[in-house]
Amino acid sequence: MAKKNKNSSGKKSGSSRSSRTTILLIIAALLTFGLLWQTYPAPFESRWAALKKEVAKWCTTDEKQIAQNDSKPVTPATATPTQQKKTENEKKESDSKNEKKQSAVKNETEKKGKTEPVTDQKGFVPKSAKADLKKYKKLELPAKATDRPEQIVEHLGYAASYNSRTKLPNWVAYELTMHEVKGNSKRNNRFVQDPKIRQGQASNADYTRSGYDRGHMAPAADMTWDKQAMEESFYFTNICPQAPELNRGIWKSLEDKGRDWAKKDSAILIVCGPILSKRCKSIGLNKVAVPDQFYKVIMSPFGKKPKAIGFLFKNEGSNEKLQKFAVSVDSIQKLTGIDFFYQLPQPLQTEVERTYNLNDWF
């Protein structure tokens, strides 16, 4: 019985030691897990996901930086040979496109015979365009004539196209500024021949008892700003036979109005002259032609917008208002064959010559 009890006690002792060992291993495992938890608190899968997210962030940052670097211009100092070649090719291609575009615009402009419009959609002219008009020299002068005798003479206050056959000016042109209407030079009434004319001219004798006034084209009252200009306005290159009722009436009213317009718009351009029929009569020994009509075209280039107007009179008096005689510049151009204001850009010339608005002038 005693032996049996001893063996049973030995078995219990071995089982107890095994349990203690298991407990110790469990404790050690727990301690180890605790250390791992402190060092790596997130599960492995979460740590791997976090690592992937961090890597993706780094990649995105690198891609943005690469894109920024690619968008920057490559300078010769920093460019690789491949980048330099690419940049040169792109520049050549861009230059080639620009040249083709400019050439196409130039060809189209030459084909149409026009320049780019100066006015905007509302008809107003930008300040830069107004300044451009000032660059044109002697804008008031018409184009040269090819269908009639012409000698261009220029004086201090006006220029004239003299016709040796009719003994009259084809036209007289001048600019009148707001300052020039304030002169004090006195009228001298001394009509003389123009020393610059190479061939025959009218004389005072031609007008004696003819029934016609020696009518100024560029009026003496517009030349008060200078004594020489006043004297030269009495040259016969500036004179035509006018009916007294016209010269002293409606024609004078238009001259007065012109000075008002010059004051208002700072400057105006004026071209005027006679219109002759094929069978017009003449006066005097020099056979000075007597016009059937007279024209005057006026342009205001420096107002709110460029504008122009024409006037056409028979060589006789009238009690009508000036507005009654207003016409477009284009109609006078067709009647006389004279190309007015031809230096203007074509679209602007067309616009101001084909229309007029009385409300802009009266």
216 catalytic? Reply is: yes
Q: Which value, in Å, is the radius of gyration of the alpha carbons in the chain?
A: 49
Instruction: Name beta bridge partners: 348.
Output: none
Contact 109, 339 (CB under 8 A): no
Greatest Cα pair distance in the chain: 186
User: Distance between CA 149 and CA 161 in Å, rounded?
Assistant: 9
Q: What share of the chain is helix, strand, coil (3-state, %, to 5)?
A: 45, 15, 35
User: Distance between CA 156 and CA 234 in Å, rounded?
Assistant: 12
Compute CA distances 100 → 86, 109, 157, whole Å.
Answer: 21, 14, 47
Residues 6+ apart with CB under 8 A from 163: 148, 149, 150, 169, 170
User: Distance between CA 90 and CA 80 in Å, rounded?
Assistant: 15
- Catalytic-labelled residue, pool 155, 167, 216, 296: 216
User: Distance between CA 178 and CA 186 in Å, rounded?
Assistant: 18
Question: Which residue shows structure tokens 């009722």?
Answer: 245
Contact 303, 338 (CB under 8 A): no
User: Distance between CA 48 and CA 209 in Å, rounded?
Assistant: 122
Cβ atoms within 10 A of the Cβ of 347, count?
Answer: 14
**Catalytic amino acids?**
216
